[in-house]
Amino acid sequence: MKIKNPRTGQYYYEIFPPTFEELKTKTKSMREAQEDWKESGIEHRIKALQDWKVVVEEHKEKLIDALCMDTGRKWETVLEVDLVALSIDRWSKISREFFATTERKTSSIPFLEIEQGYEPYSLVGVISPWNFPLLLSLIDTIPALLAGCAVVVKPSEITPRFIEVLQKTINQVPGLLGILNYIEGGGETGADLCKLTDIICFTGSTETGKKVYQAACNNFIPVFLELGGKDAVIVTETADIERATSAVLWGSVANAGQSCLSIERIYVHRNVYHSFLSRLVGKANLLKLAHPTMDSGQIGPIISEKQVIIIDNQLEDAFKKGAVLTAGSRKCEELNGGFYCRPTILTNVTHDMKVMTEETFGPILPVMAYTTVEEAIEFANKTQYGLSGAVFAGTEEEAMKIARKMKCEAVSINDAVLTAVMHEGEKNSFKMSGIGGTRMGPSAIKRFVKQKAYLINSQGVKDSW
């Protein structure tokens, strides 16, 4: 399986997916290793992950190099690698607290007591996407490991180069041997994984998510899906326009818009529409493509060639239906074999355009005016997705009133894409954006264990016939 470099369009790497039989052998031995891992206790597991953290830190440069070649962009990559340590620390704390709460309790019935137990699933499968290859491969993996599961991870075949580097760091931690494995492969390997694991965690497109749900159903296992989004922002007439334009731009074009939680629809009150738009255009025009070097600008290449086609198709559809190009360009640009998309602001947009209904995954900012708050909320909810959203208003009270009516799992108030940085809240995707328990907050650990109750008659013979 040959892999392209997104900055040059050239094949530059090759991966060799395991056969089903090879995967079967590997997962079998992982299940055996998990027996000890499960019994080892939470402190042992925290120690193993802390050891890994140190090794990852030592190999930081190599990891960044591999990820940069995979994704063609730099600062998001550095962030991804830096977040590994924070994530391990955060989940260590949460899981320690979680497993501390197993003490015995009396019940409401005389002589009957209860003790809560946990049986981790033996083997968790993680299938992760190409937009944040390292970060999103770990988001479910770390809590699953701490819960006592073995984890096999299949990152996207579009950005696989970091796998070898990361697996080497894993192999240097004796405690993780046979417990955590990264494997290379495409859709077929992902399908194989669904047949060999006890839970599947999938992050990616809604289209593929449906297939993963079907595979889990066939195998009668639980599934956790985090899928597409079409996040809306609502800017009221009382909002701080300076602040709103900066945050919205950031939320739309970071990682060249290749983020499930990036802002893809902007609804602005009619009375501030023009001042908002002119400032947004001014700020957008200051941004530069990260070409010829990764440090040349803020906007890296579109990582997946398929995505270039989707973006161009949506733009073409929008212009055909009357959208006006207010900043950016009419289509992605090819530079030295890579494809780039400038921050592109569209006005005169309508809800029959693909760019207003389908996930774009690019730095496209369609801006639409609204007249009443009710209308804005209706617009924002006019989507099959329900991932996140944002509201900007003069007071928090005004913003919260709107946010409470938005049909999505998280709303940033007077800021954008805070879901990327705040991990404390529990949330569940709405509509076609996902299925399954929260992946954030303490309850996230529960996804990876079967809870078990010990019901104890501590005294006396039961009064029965």
Nearest CB to a second copy, comparing residues 337 and 425: 425
- Site string (185-224) toward a second copy, x via CB under 8 A: -------------------------x--xx-xx--xxx--
Supply the residues annotated as catalytic: 226, 260
Least gap, CB of 115 to a second copy (angstroms)? 8
Q: Select the span of 54-62, 113-121, 231-239, 336-344 touching a second copy (CB under 8 A).
A: 113-121
Q: Are 332 and 308 in contact (CB under 8 A)?
A: yes
Other Cβ atoms within 10 Å of 404 Cβ, number: 10
- Token pair 């299925």 is found at 435
Q: What are phi and psi of 180, to 5 degrees?
A: -130, 120
The answer to whether residue 453 forms part of the interface with a second copy (CB under 8 A) is yes
By CB under 8 A, the residues from 422 to 441 that bind a second copy are 422, 424-430, 432, 435-438, 440
Residues 287, 343: contact at Cβ < 8 Å? yes
* Chain residues 347-406 in contact with a second copy, contact rule CB under 8 A: 396, 400, 403-404
Among 11, 19, 44, 117, binds a second copy (CB under 8 A): 117
Minimum distance, C-beta of residue 425 to a second copy, in the bound complex (Å): 3
What count of Cα atoms within 13 Å lies in the side-chain half-sphere of residue 172? 16
Tell me which of 10, 19, 25, 107 binds a second copy, using CB under 8 A. 107
Looking at the DSSP assignment, which residues form a beta bridge with residue 435? 225
Judged by CB under 8 A, the residue of 66, 247, 308, 332 near a second copy is 247
Any idea how long the chain is?
A: 465
Q: How far is the CB of 250 from a second copy (least distance, A)?
A: 4
| Sites for a second copy among residues 217-236 (CB under 8 A) | 217, 220-222
Neighbouring residues of 377: CB distance < 8 A, sequence distance ≥ 6: 234, 402, 405, 406
Q: Which is nearer to a second copy, 286 or 293 (CB)?
A: 286
Kindly tell me which of 10 and 102 has the beta carbon lying closer to a second copy.
102
When binding is defined by CB under 8 A, the residue of 61, 168, 378, 454 that contacts a second copy is 454
Nearer to a second copy, 138 or 435 (CB): 435
**Is 411 an interacting residue with respect to a second copy (CB under 8 A)?**
yes
Asked if 276 is part of the footprint of a second copy (rule: CB under 8 A), the reply reads no
Rounded CA separation 9/74 (Å)? 18
> DSSP readout, 268-302?
EEGGGHHHHHHHHHHHHHH--B--SSTTS-SB---
Q: What CA–CA distance (Å, rounded) separates 24 from 2?
A: 24
Taking CB under 8 A as the rule, does residue 418 contact a second copy?
Answer: yes
Return the residue matching tokens 């709303």: 411
Q: State in angstroms the smallest separation of the CB of 79 from a second copy.
A: 13
The residue type at 221: I
Please tell me whether residue 296 binds a second copy under the rule CB under 8 A. Answer: no
Residues 119-158 touching a second copy, rule: CB under 8 A, are: 119
Work out whether 462 is an interface residue with a second copy (CB under 8 A). yes
DSSP reduced 3-state for 362: coil
User: What three-state secondary structure class fits 439?
Assistant: coil
Q: Check if the beta carbon of residue 73 is closer than 8 Å to that of residue 300.
A: yes
